[in-house]
Amino acid sequence: MTRRSLAVLFGSSLVACSLVTSLDDLRAPGDAAPASDAADVSPMPESGVDAHPTPDASDAPNDAPVGTISFVAASSASSVTASSSIDISKPTGTVTGDFVFAMLAIDDGSATPTVPSAWNLATRATDAMYGFETFAWYFFASASEPASYTITLPSAIDWSVTLVAYAGVQPTSPFDVMPSMTKVASPPYTAAAITTTVPNALVIFGFVGETGDGSWSASSPLVSRAQEDYLLAADMLLASPGSSGAQSASYSDGASPGMVLVGALAPQ
């Protein structure tokens, strides 16, 4: 009869006992074992083969705990000289399902850019007095996302663009508070408070300096994600629903008028 010893721990006393571990002991000689008694043994992988291979990076979602939004990466670019075509790289590490927020500031108050068809316009604002315009779009990355995006302008003008990618954004209704923009006369640029309605909303900001001649600094608790001549993209987590409070960013060109965008993303 096949037996083995099992050590059982009761409090501080260790008791050894012997258990029957096979029904073979109870069968008459010559009886066949039923199929259900057969051991379920999975074959071991061959040497050098991963039994649980890591999915391809382009298909694997970025890790964002349920109910939270995680920053993935950002990319940005500015015109060195006035141009009518913009090429901006996809933020590094962006994968299928990630949310991407794009902002474009152009030194032209009447131009309408042409963007990829998957981009959705979130908001736009024009400063007719200074001949300046700012756009914001959003989209969710697909499985066939290109390495870079092209934006076409109707004429050669100066511009700045930022793309910020996040994981864990609600896929059907990404905004808890829809982004909006307002004009401001001079730095520091202050975004009015908004009120979020869900836990762990991510408040997003875009600050625009219309001269393009300054440098940026976001005030705490804002986290700067990308900046170029005209633009600063930033965000802050609001763990509990409620007011974001007024938040600001400084721009070294103290005479520059500008624009401020604020909105909030909802976690999935």
What tokens were used for 97? 């399902």
pLDDT in tens, 125-160: 998 888 899 999 999 999 999 999 999 999 999 999
Q: Go through 63-97 and write b for each residue having 16 or more CB atoms within 10 A of its CB, e for each that does not.
A: ebeeeebbbbbbbbbbbeeeeeebebebbeebbeb
pLDDT in tens, 195-238: 999 999 999 999 999 887 789 999 999 999 999 999 999 999 99
Q: What are the residues facing 105 on neighbouring strands? A: 134, 160
Dihedral of CA atoms 109, 122, 192, 226 in degrees, nearest 10, equals -80
Q: State the Cα–Cα distance between residues 108 and 150, nearest whole angstrom.
A: 19
Q: What are the residues facing 203 on neighbouring strands? A: 236, 264
What pLDDT score was predicted for residue 255?
81
CA dihedral sign, ordered 159, 246, 175, 91: positive
pLDDT band at 110 (very low <50, low <70, confident <90, very high): confident
pLDDT in tens, 11-30: 333 333 333 334 344 344 44
pTM of the model: 0.76
Q: Which of 238, 183, 175, 176 is nearest to 206 (CA)?
A: 183
Query: Mean pLDDT over all residues of the chain?
Result: 82
What pLDDT score was predicted for residue 225?
98
What pLDDT score was predicted for residue 150?
98
pLDDT band at 65 (very low <50, low <70, confident <90, very high): low
Which sequence spans correspond to the domains of the chain?
Answer: 3-33, 70-265
What pLDDT score was predicted for residue 68?
93
What pLDDT score was predicted for residue 64?
57
What tokens were used for 12? 């501080």
Phi, psi dihedrals of residue 26, rounded to the nearest 5°: -100, -5
Query: Is the pLDDT confidence value at 46 over 80?
Result: no
pLDDT in tens, 168-186: 999 999 999 999 999 998 8
| In contact, 262 and 203? CB cutoff 8 Å | yes
